[in-house]
Amino acid sequence: MEQYVAYVGTYTHGSSRGIHIYDIDPATWKMRERKVVPINNPSDIVVSKDRRFLYSIADEGVRSFRIQKDGDLQPLNAAWTGAMRGTDLEISKDGKYLFVGGYHDGSVSVLHVNEDGSVGAIADNVFHENTTKGLTKSASAPHVTCIRQLPDTVGFAAVDSGLDHVKIYHLQPKTGKLKLHDILRLEINSSPIAIRFSADGRFSYLLSEADNTVTVFQLGIDKDGFNTFETIQKIPCSEEKDFRSIAACSMELTMGGKHLLVGNNGTNTMTVFNVDLKTGLLSKLFENRTSGSYPKALGLMPDNRHVAVLAHDTNEIISLYMNYPKNYFLMDAKPIQVEQPNCIAICKLV
């Protein structure tokens, strides 16, 4: 029988101590806590594509772990990123580089990954700068909130909520150096925070926090084999019109790409969109309350029917059963108590 575990990172200002490991029952998709791995403030975690290693942000930079056969984590090493404390992680598809996005200083750091899975030396550091002068929010400080590898495998998208930009970098595969290739400029004061790509690499979905929208891009390929972006849709995440009472905060595509889920802070709801697999366009199915406060992260179970919602401000993980045909979801288990959960990775064990 296939085995799955969930890794949940928590802030450790209070009683929580780090990364919580949960066994997942594949018959019911319920989570049961097994142990906690001590680490300082793991604000994001990422599992390597071969599912052998896990990487986490920590106060000292980043930490690396080997995933054991039972899902336990064996510490490998810690490394400094060359920048302030990170916010988001991405591992390259070939497993050779770890990317760290920095909210506090608008940085993108690239670190070598050694053959044993440990984190190596710094390959590059890029610090975003604001060259705009004026009284609008566009003159605020840069804040990198998300970094993801593009389907062309050469490019990486760095989402900057402070600049209202998505910067596209090309990675030099031998050195790990970054070269700025393109900038996607969003509406001023939109605050983009997360980007996801369809499995077939034809579309991308950009979540903006301040104006509570998802922007859909159609991806193309230029003469050099690099991805291009064309905006084809912008759709609101909620019917709530008062932007002061809502902020889109989390987003994930379901496996198979048929649905896009968005968590909304303030209203504490989750919006479910249908995805047209041919056109990439979104249509809203429904929006319901998730229970708890601040759905900061969404963990999608492999059955495509259960979602773990990390309610950060009420210190709990909420399990939802999704009924897409009938346009509703229901809580199907008692909430799991855990202090300040903020990120989740669900892993099929090797």
Residue-wise pLDDT for 274-324, tens only, equals 999 999 999 999 999 999 999 999 999 999 999 999 999 999 999 999 999
What pLDDT sits at residue 175?
A: 97
Percent of the chain at pLDDT exceeding 90: 91
Q: Is the pLDDT of residue 134 over 80?
A: no
Helix H, strand E, coil C: the string for 218-247 is EEEECCCCCEEEEEEEEEECCCCCCHHHCE
What pLDDT sits at residue 138?
A: 46
Query: Among the listed ranges 54-68, 124-138, 196-210, 291-305, which one has the minimum average pLDDT value?
Result: 124-138
Q: Is the pLDDT of residue 165 over 50?
A: yes
Q: Is the pLDDT of residue 137 over 80?
A: no
Domain boundary among 236, 251, 269: 236
Tell me whether residue 290 is exposed, middle or buried, using C-beta atoms within 10 angstroms of its C-beta: 0 to 12, 13 to 18, 19 or more: buried
Q: Are residues 154 and 181 in the same domain?
A: yes
H helix runs in 135-256, sequence order: none
Domain boundary among 236, 266, 282: 236
What pLDDT sits at residue 224?
A: 87
What pLDDT sits at residue 131?
A: 77
Whole-model pTM? 0.96
State the number of CA atoms in the 13 A half-sphere of 255 facing the CB: 10
**Letter string b/e over residues 109-141, b meaning 16 or more CB atoms within 10 A of that residue's CB:** bbbbbeeebbbbebbbbbebeeeeeeeebbeee
| Cβ count near 182 (within 10 Å) | 16
Q: Examine residue 247 and state whether it is found in any structural domain, yes or no.
A: yes
d(CA 241, CA 276): 26
Identify the bridge partners of residue 130 per DSSP, sorted by sequence position.
none
Complete edge-to-edge strand list for the sheet that includes strand 259-265 = 247-253, 259-265, 269-275, 282-289
To the nearest 10°, report the CA torsion of 336, 341, 342, 343. -60
- Residue 204: pLDDT band (50, 70, 90) is very high
The pLDDT tens digits for 251-265 are: 999 999 999 999 999
Q: Are residues 257 and 312 in the same domain?
A: yes
Q: Is the pLDDT of residue 243 over 90?
A: no
Q: Are residues 254 and 148 in the same domain?
A: no
State the number of CA atoms in the 13 A half-sphere of 167 facing the CB: 24
Q: Is the dihedral of CA 309, 292, 89, 71 positive or negative?
A: negative
- Residue 116: pLDDT band (50, 70, 90) is very high
End-to-end CA distance of the chain: 12
Q: Are residues 283 and 342 in the same domain?
A: yes
Are residues 137 and 172 in contact, defined by beta-carbon separation less than 8 angstroms?
no
What pLDDT sits at residue 244?
A: 73
Q: What is the mean pLDDT of residues 66-74?
A: 98
Q: Is the pLDDT of residue 241 over 80?
A: no
Q: Examine residue 349 and state whether it is found in any structural domain, yes or no.
A: yes
What pLDDT sits at residue 189?
A: 92
Percent of the chain at pLDDT exceeding 70: 97
Domain boundary among 204, 236, 268: 236
CATH number at residue 279: 2.130.10.10
| Cβ count near 60 (within 10 Å) | 14
Angle, CA 269 vertex, CA 267 and CA 270 arms, to 5°: 150
Q: Are residues 244 and 344 in the same domain?
A: yes
Q: Are residues 216 and 245 in the same domain?
A: no
The pLDDT tens digits for 322-335 are: 999 999 999 999 99
What pLDDT sits at residue 13?
A: 83
What pLDDT sits at residue 117?
A: 98
Contacts of 252 (CB under 8 A, 6+ apart): 196, 260, 261, 298, 300
Q: Are residues 296 and 259 in the same domain?
A: yes
Contacts of 53 (CB under 8 A, 6+ apart): 47, 64, 65, 66, 67, 76, 95, 117
Q: Are residues 133 and 232 in the same domain?
A: yes
| Cβ count near 16 (within 10 Å) | 20
Q: Examine residue 77 and state whether it is found in any structural domain, yes or no.
A: no
Q: Are residues 345 and 245 in the same domain?
A: yes
Q: Is the pLDDT of residue 188 over 60?
A: yes
The type of residue at 167 is: K
- Higher-confidence residue of 188 and 138: namely 188
What pLDDT sits at residue 16?
A: 82
For residue 31, CA distances in Å to 19, 173, 182 come to 14, 39, 42
- Higher-confidence residue of 164 and 244: namely 164
Average pLDDT over all residues of the chain: 95
Q: Are residues 245 and 232 in the same domain?
A: no
Q: Examine residue 113 and state whether it is found in any structural domain, yes or no.
A: no
What pLDDT sits at residue 211?
A: 92
DSSP assignment, residue 113? E
What pLDDT sits at residue 140?
A: 79
Q: Examine residue 150 and state whether it is found in any structural domain, yes or no.
A: yes
Contacts of 87 (CB under 8 A, 6+ apart): 43, 44, 57, 101, 102, 103, 104, 144, 145
Which domain, by its residues, includes 285?
A: 240-350
Q: Are residues 226 and 293 in the same domain?
A: no
Q: Examine residue 139 and state whether it is found in any structural domain, yes or no.
A: yes
Q: Examine residue 48 and state whether it is found in any structural domain, yes or no.
A: no
Q: Are residues 225 and 244 in the same domain?
A: no
Count of domains in the chain? Answer: 2
Q: Examine residue 143 and state whether it is found in any structural domain, yes or no.
A: yes
What pLDDT sits at residue 133?
A: 57
